Structure 1
Amino acid sequence: MPMRRTHLIYASGIVLVLNAVAAAQDAAPLDIGSRLELFADTYVIDKLDGAQLRLQSPVPAETVLEFDKPWEGEFCAYATVIKDADRYRLYYRGLPESGADGSAAESTCYAESTDGIHFTKPNLGLFEVFGTRDNNAILHGFEPLSHNFAPFVDTRPDVDAAQRYKALGGTSSTGLVAFVSADGVNWRKLRDEAVINQGALDSQNVAFWSESERQYVCYLRTFDQESKVRTVSRCTSKDFVTWTDIAPMEFGGATPEHLYTNQTTPYFRAPHLYVAIAARFMEGRRVVSEELMAQMGGHTKYSGDCSDAVLLTTRGGTHYDRTFMEGFIRPGIGMNNWTSRTNYPARGVVPTGESEMSMYVQRNYGQKSHHLQRLVMRTDGFASVHAPYGGGEMITKPLTFDGVSLAINFSTSAAGSVWIELQRADGTPIPGFTREECDEIVGDEITRIVTWKGDADVSPLSGGPVRVRAVLKDADLFSVQFMPKMRVNW
């Protein structure tokens, strides 16, 4: 098992105050309702004392797909993985030869799975590609629209069943053209004209229906002329046809970096939180020589750069939170993944078990061994509030909620513990919900209901501003949620 890597957000001294307590008291409380809130950024955190916000690392698992068909090859790219009821759908660009973006050799390919691990390529017979219809292509001959075809399931409540699946594809020469489908396999253009005509678009441009914003949003490739880096912009639409002008995303003053793909998507357990696992492109940072690339069976043209992936979050609007600048997915051991345009994540983080979620990454780009690998994490486990054996604590900003109990996703060592205290907005412990009255929490669970002297009911506090204080010893806290219905621990 690979060693777990972590990255910490901390400051010199014992206490890290993310927002001054006095200022937080004056500000309106965050209304989180009964939503799940992850500690993937500092959004709900006000104060850390002896604890740290720690970036977790996906664990590499098995190869789920080899790009080994004649119409696939070394230059497959821009994958999307969707959990659709009891089926996992995988879309990706097939391209066996390098060349200009949008060449006639490009196609859009499809695979599917029942578990997110074992994928098959159905023989669809829809298009003739490289002299045969015995293939898994769902789009071909629409160049350049297969260059970066990016589908999603439209979760809008009143969506037309014939348009339940939607996609965008195209480059700056055509703009982004909209596609629709009833089954995710047979696609048609929504209209011939492009629906988005701004941006560089020479990458994977991802759209989805936002439940929280009640509109379609698209995160697309642009180029920052000031900092000279590939970056991300955003636009929105009420009908998927008429889109607003694009607006550049800002990163809170973080150092500008090339972000080749953004892969922004709603997190499946908390769709108000958009998680972006972006490909960070280190242009000109050579690790592999041309001679070594040739020995590995790769194209030497794609040996002069390296890439990894970084974690960003956003809750709508034009701001990304770059809490962590460190790599989220590293290239890893072996020189094959230290070449250009490899390690690009697929779009999609999907559940593959009761306590597990999976993401996917392209490995060995530009080489005969090019493939898609699965990586696994615990549910909600992008990052955590972590305290060492010596202990630490976290206090949230004032919150209003709608619920009857409080659930936490946590992990302790055998010697570790978690205690939860609920406080008034001014930081005063609320009688009946103090740390001393909290029943000690030990173990490793995705959903544990907090109790105080055996009682889990927090409904008397619903609607009023409260702070959550977590006191931890050799433990990690991944998420919290005020539950709308009472449940018991098993």
Structure 2
Amino acid sequence: MRYLLAILSLLASPLTLLCHTAIGADDEVVHIGNRRELLVDHHLIEELDHVRLVLNRPRDEGVALKFDNPWEGPFCGYCTVIKDGDQYRAYYRGRPEAGADGDPGEVYCCAESEDGIVWTKPELELFTVRGHSKNNIILAEAAPVTHNFSPMLDTRPGVPADERYKAIGGTMTSGLIAMISADGIHWKKLRDEPVIATTMVPYKYMFDSQNLAFWSTHENKYICYFRVFEDGIRRICRSTSDDFLQWSEPVLMEYRNPTSEPPIEQLYTNQTHPYFRAPHLYVSIAARFMPGRQVLTEAQANAIDVSPQYFRDTSDAILMTSRGGKFYDRTFLGGFVRPGIGARNWVSRTNYPALNIVQTGPTEMSVYLNQDYAQPTSHLRRYSMRLDGFASAQAPHSGGELLTKPLTFTGRELAINFGTSAAGGIRVEIQDPAGNPLPGFSLDEATEQIGNEIKRVVTWKSGSDVASLSGKPVRLRFVMKDADLYAFKFDD
């Protein structure tokens, strides 16, 4: 309809339309540069014709780490996984018995891995706990920080070496306390006072969950996401900082969905972090908590030896995304990681995701979930998915099309992350903002892309060079058949 109105306007007043088109096209252009863009929301999508965005659920890879040491136990939780160079490290709370938030009996442990798949527990000898001096505890005698200690690798340019790792933790009583470390093992307070105090947050309850922070290259600031209660519902607030010490007034996060008003659900943890292959996109693998939604009978709960009162709720993991600001995109309302088969997966506070997605193979990345909570079999479980594969634009065998909004890019080639059937394929047409095919890049000149690759350079009859269009507003038209498009990126 927009294009029809434009044609009618052109017939009526050519000069007026030319001026209007130039201004309108410029106003609507999305500047992506050479960023990798994932098909997880409608940020770049103008039209979908027999193509839909689908959620791609991760594959269960089994137990990654058992919480079976005397100082760990059934109430381990609030895990963070960090990839630092060639080393992976998992941090998690050790808690053998149920207790109050911020209890002195809580400690923080770590495990290490060379590939994110096989994990070992180092013997650090930093603290003696429960009569054991050789253990994997990196923080003890530090309540209430040890309730929900959440570390980060600080990627801010020029960060001092002894602050290369940072962390926050604490409860409503203490506020969020900042910790620093040079190596991720030996920790000390950044300062005695909390960096985000209770008095800064206009809510009755806050902080009693895993709260997190990271350096955003996209916003050039530190970002903190923390839990509050708003009208009795667990919600998420966001605050920003230039120096990790002074933080802005918190803003309550809101949710949006392209077709409907998303429900306000209880989100126990948010686990928001920059996606490592596209850091302008924040990915949140959040724990959705369903209080009072009981699945197990008392007899079933007794059979799996779950701690009393920890089987009257259920939870799963959902996917949200953000590009900064006060909104999460809830394009997908369903579960991202559903509870597994068996009673152990349907107890209270299980299936809580660890913070961060990490790469665990040439074409694979992994997310980890805390499972069998409040049970003797408590553990961390790994789930894998293809790189960029949170979601995809999917076309059926009958075919469909995806048209982007006008955008500008920098680079010489267009690469796509995609998969097709043997009968399927993807062709790419590059258009001007008005929808006209550009010479050399029309659909008839496009080479059909068939296969399944993380990175395939798109070609036309003239080759792959799109440098002549770099910096100019264009649209991308993906004509697809029995295919999934996960991401695209312009490369030099």
- Compute the TM-score of the two structures, normalised by the length of structure 2: 0.92
> Which residue of the other structure, out of 205, 209, 216, is the alignment partner of 2:215?
209
Q: Does residue 318 of structure 1 match 2:326?
A: yes
Looking at structure 2, the residues matched to 262 and 368 of structure 1 have their Cα atoms a distance apart, in angstroms, of: 26
Q: Does residue 409 of structure 1 match 2:413?
A: no
- Equivalent residues of 1:287, 1:304 under 8 A apart: yes
Aligned to 2:243: 239
Aligned to 1:8: none
Looking at structure 2, the residues matched to 332 and 417 of structure 1 have their Cα atoms a distance apart, in angstroms, of: 34
Aligned to 1:270: 278
> Which residue of the other structure, out of 375, 378, 386, is the alignment partner of 1:378?
386
Deviations 1:207-264 (A, max 9, x none): 0000011110001001112xx3101000011111111111101112411000000000
| Number of residue equivalences | 463
- 2:420 is matched by which residue type in structure 1? T
- 1:72 is matched by which residue type in structure 2? E
Aligned to 2:107: 107
Aligned positions of 1:161-180 closer than 5 A: 161-180=161-180
Give the superposition deviation at 1:89.
0.8
Looking at structure 1, the residues matched to 304 and 76 of structure 2 have their Cα atoms a distance apart, in angstroms, of: 18
- 2:312 is matched by which residue type in structure 1? G
Looking at structure 2, the residues matched to 264 and 362 of structure 1 have their Cα atoms a distance apart, in angstroms, of: 16
Aligned positions of 1:32-431 closer than 5 A: 32-198=32-198, 199=201, 200-225=206-231, 228-252=232-256, 253-431=261-439
Question: Is the partner of 2:301 in helix, strand or coil?
Answer: helix
Looking at structure 1, the residues matched to 242 and 133 of structure 2 have their Cα atoms a distance apart, in angstroms, of: 38
- 1:101 is matched by which residue type in structure 2? D
- Equivalent residues of 1:24, 1:397 under 8 A apart: no
- 1:205 is matched by which residue type in structure 2? N
Give the superposition deviation at 1:29.
0.4
Looking at structure 2, the residues matched to 224 and 450 of structure 1 have their Cα atoms a distance apart, in angstroms, of: 48
Question: Is the partner of 1:294 in helix, strand or coil?
Answer: helix
- Equivalent residues of 2:77, 2:370 under 8 A apart: yes
Question: Is the partner of 1:317 in helix, strand or coil?
Answer: coil
- 2:218 is matched by which residue type in structure 1? S
- Equivalent residues of 1:290, 1:300 under 8 A apart: no
Looking at structure 2, the residues matched to 24 and 82 of structure 1 have their Cα atoms a distance apart, in angstroms, of: 44
Q: Which one has a bigger Cα radius of gyration?
A: 2
Looking at structure 1, the residues matched to 446 and 118 of structure 2 have their Cα atoms a distance apart, in angstroms, of: 44
Give the superposition deviation at 1:25.
4.3
What are the ranges of 5 or more consecutive residues in structure 2 without an aligned counterpart? 7-20
Q: Higher helix fraction: Structure 1 or Structure 2?
A: 2
Aligned to 2:9: none
> Which residue of the other structure, out of 449, 468, 471, is the alignment partner of 2:476?
468
Looking at structure 2, the residues matched to 188 and 304 of structure 1 have their Cα atoms a distance apart, in angstroms, of: 38
Deviations 1:90-132 (A, max 9, x none): 0000000001101111000011000101111101010111122
- Equivalent residues of 2:440, 2:462 under 8 A apart: no
Looking at structure 2, the residues matched to 293 and 70 of structure 1 have their Cα atoms a distance apart, in angstroms, of: 23
Give the superposition deviation at 1:194.
0.5
- 1:202 is matched by which residue type in structure 2? D
Give the superposition deviation at 1:291.
1.9
Looking at structure 2, the residues matched to 47 and 335 of structure 1 have their Cα atoms a distance apart, in angstroms, of: 43
Give the superposition deviation at 1:431.
1.2
Question: Is the partner of 1:460 in helix, strand or coil?
Answer: helix
Looking at structure 2, the residues matched to 212 and 395 of structure 1 have their Cα atoms a distance apart, in angstroms, of: 25
- 1:398 is matched by which residue type in structure 2? P
- Equivalent residues of 1:80, 1:90 under 8 A apart: yes
Question: Is the partner of 1:156 in helix, strand or coil?
Answer: coil
- Equivalent residues of 2:410, 2:490 under 8 A apart: yes
- Compute the TM-score of the two structures, normalised by the length of structure 1: 0.93
Q: More displaced, 22-31 or 347-356? A: 22-31
Looking at structure 1, the residues matched to 487 and 279 of structure 2 have their Cα atoms a distance apart, in angstroms, of: 14
> Which residue of the other structure, out of 457, 472, 480, is the alignment partner of 2:488?
480
Give the superposition deviation at 1:28.
2.6
Looking at structure 1, the residues matched to 86 and 65 of structure 2 have their Cα atoms a distance apart, in angstroms, of: 19
Looking at structure 2, the residues matched to 70 and 293 of structure 1 have their Cα atoms a distance apart, in angstroms, of: 23
Identity %: 54
- Equivalent residues of 1:24, 1:398 under 8 A apart: no
- Equivalent residues of 2:106, 2:140 under 8 A apart: yes
- Equivalent residues of 1:439, 1:454 under 8 A apart: no
Give the superposition deviation at 1:27.
3.6
Q: 1:24 to 1:197 in 2, by over 3 A?
A: farther
Give the superposition deviation at 1:204.
0.6
Looking at structure 2, the residues matched to 386 and 124 of structure 1 have their Cα atoms a distance apart, in angstroms, of: 48
Looking at structure 2, the residues matched to 142 and 80 of structure 1 have their Cα atoms a distance apart, in angstroms, of: 18
Root mean square deviation, CA, Å: 1.5
- 1:413 is matched by which residue type in structure 2? S
Looking at structure 1, the residues matched to 337 and 307 of structure 2 have their Cα atoms a distance apart, in angstroms, of: 23
- 2:215 is matched by which residue type in structure 1? W
Question: Is the partner of 2:300 in helix, strand or coil?
Answer: helix
